[in-house]
Amino acid sequence: MVIDPDEREQEALKVAMRFMGELMAEIGWATPFNELSADQAAKLAEAAVDGFQEGMLANAPRPDPEVPF
| Structural domain contains residue 52 | yes
| Structural domain contains residue 53 | yes
Number of domains present in the structure of the chain: 1
pLDDT tens-digit profile of 1-14?
A: 668 999 999 999 99
| Structural domain contains residue 42 | yes
pLDDT tens-digit profile of 11-68?
A: 999 999 999 999 999 999 999 999 999 999 999 999 999 999 999 999 888 777 776 6
How far is residue 29's CA from residue 51's CA, in Å, rounded to a whole number? 19
Domain that holds residue 53: 7-25+33-58
Task: Name the burial class of residue 16, with classes exposed (0-12), middle (13-18) and buried (19+) by CB atoms within 10 angstroms of its CB.
Answer: buried
